[in-house]
Amino acid sequence: MIPSFNFTQIPHIIFGPGRLNDLYEFILKFGKNLLFVIGENSLKRSGKWGQIESDLDQKSLQYSLINISGEPSPLLIDNSVKEFRNKNIDLVISIGGGSVIDTGKAISAMIPKKDTIKNYLEGVGDKIHDGKKIPFIAIPTTSGTGSEATKNAVISEVGPNGFKKSLRHDNLIPNVAIIDPELMISCPQSITAACGMDAFTQLLEAYVSPKGNPITESLAFSGLKFMSKNLLRASSTDSTDIKVRTSMAYGSLISGITLANAGLGIVHGLASSIGGYFDIPHGIVCGTLLAEATKMNIKRLNYNKLIGGKALRKYANVGALIAGKNIADEENINDYCSILTNTLDNWIDQLELDRLGKYNINLEDVDKIISKTGIKNNPVSLKKEDIRDIVINRL
């Protein structure tokens, strides 16, 4: 029997190589005073920003520009909003990785407000955002967070009392998402690897989430199919292959849609707490922890197959997918689960993903991390000892 479920709205999606050119059609629907948010280097190095500037000048469009590096902080958002709040911005456009898109999303949401973004962050402030915003277009240049399809912007403040929390409202989903894989060809292989592992983590966690539904399960599985076949290729020999990049872009987009509806699990629970305390790329945290977290989930699901049988079979289905089958045979569930975890271990090695210790995370930090970690929509309940093992095994 199909259970009852909700499915949140998605942006107007424009997908495919060369579709960046559709941007100007949408700009004219919103206005002529634009605010662009882009990364500090990558878009300019690729030559795409110069092309965009030329097009904007030819069309007599007025625009301002914010360059950012790293993940967005409350201070960055507050300062940007203060600068542009009274400049009658008609449209905010982010072109970049997940942090760039989250920055633009947060700026568009906070320009109509009169106070700090901290007041609206989940678990930090005491206000709830009402969804009023400046129209927003998201254009990703990496295949990672899927932020072009989500209703939240992740904001980080790193330090002893740091946090990594979301500004969230259904209306904060981008008005338009333009996914052009040509923008991703110049993405360095190391960033492609980390972002790709983040997207794969999101797809896998959404697929096995107890909050999932038939739509998220079908979408997540299709995303896993494309990501599993192309992640290593995009991060090495075939990084300039447009078909490979298109597959990665699709997987990343679907990861955003499914996480917004099914939620995420323990890996992202840990990424939230670790990212608040330490200056470490989000994709590295997710990628380096995924195999250990998946092993632990499978171990705990095997202890109670009556409760965890459905999730266990889903893990096996992903293993079967990797092995070239559509779904797992009932009698070989554990074998297919092993194929999945062994593959994840191999990917981490081949992609040379850093261990947590490289970012000055030590054994004495583990309890502090665990105290701030929630299991989110994990398919099985985990004890503190389980979470500790996951982290320690990747120090």
Same domain, yes or no: 35 and 167: yes
Classify strands 62-68 and 176-179 as parallel, antiparallel or unpaired.
unpaired
* Confidence (pLDDT) at 307: 67
Same domain, yes or no: 131 and 76: yes
* Confidence (pLDDT) at 153: 98
Nearest alpha carbon to residue 98 among 138, 53, 128, 135: 138
From 129, 163, 184, the end of a domain falls on 184
Same domain, yes or no: 160 and 194: no
Q: What CA–CA distance (Å, rounded) separates 145 from 98? A: 5
From 154, 184, 214, the end of a domain falls on 184
Are 97 and 39 within 8 A, CB to CB?
yes
Q: Strands, DSSP E only, in the chain?
A: 12-15, 33-39, 62-68, 91-96, 136-140, 152-157, 163-168, 176-179
Q: What CA–CA distance (Å, rounded) separates 7 from 21? A: 30
Q: How many domains does the chain have?
A: 2
Residue 202 lies in a domain: yes
* Confidence (pLDDT) at 1: 79
Q: Which domain holds residue 44?
A: 12-184
* Confidence (pLDDT) at 44: 80
From 184, 209, 227, the end of a domain falls on 184
- Per DSSP, 80 falls in state H
Nearest alpha carbon to residue 223 among 296, 278, 149, 297: 149
* Confidence (pLDDT) at 283: 96
Report how far apart the first and last C-alpha atoms of the chain are (Å, whole number).
Answer: 43
Classify strands 33-39 and 91-96 as parallel, antiparallel or unpaired.
parallel
* Confidence (pLDDT) at 41: 78
* Confidence (pLDDT) at 306: 64
CATH number for 223: 1.20.1090.10
Give the full edge-to-edge strand order of the sheet including 176-179: 12-15, 176-179, 136-140, 91-96, 33-39, 62-68
Are 224 and 251 within 8 A, CB to CB?
yes
Return the C-alpha torsion angle 247, 249, 254, 256, nearest 10.
Answer: 160
* Residue 162 neighbours by CB distance under 10 Å: 18
Same domain, yes or no: 180 and 228: no
Q: Along the 395 residues of the chain, how does pLDDT read in single tens digits?
A: 788 999 999 999 999 999 999 999 999 999 989 999 999 877 887 788 999 999 999 988 999 999 998 899 999 999 999 999 999 999 999 999 999 999 999 999 999 999 999 999 999 999 999 999 999 999 999 999 999 999 999 999 999 999 999 999 999 999 999 999 999 999 999 999 999 999 999 999 999 999 999 999 999 999 999 999 999 999 999 999 999 999 999 999 999 999 999 999 999 999 999 999 999 999 999 999 999 999 999 999 998 766 678 999 999 999 999 999 888 788 899 999 999 999 999 999 999 999 999 999 999 999 999 999 998 899 999 999 999 999 999 99
Same domain, yes or no: 101 and 50: yes
Q: What CA–CA distance (Å, rounded) separates 116 from 106? A: 11
Q: What CA–CA distance (Å, rounded) separates 95 from 49? A: 9
Same domain, yes or no: 170 and 294: no
* Confidence (pLDDT) at 280: 96
* Confidence (pLDDT) at 172: 97
Beta-carbon contacts of 221 under 8 Å, excluding residues fewer than 6 positions away, are: 207, 317, 318, 321
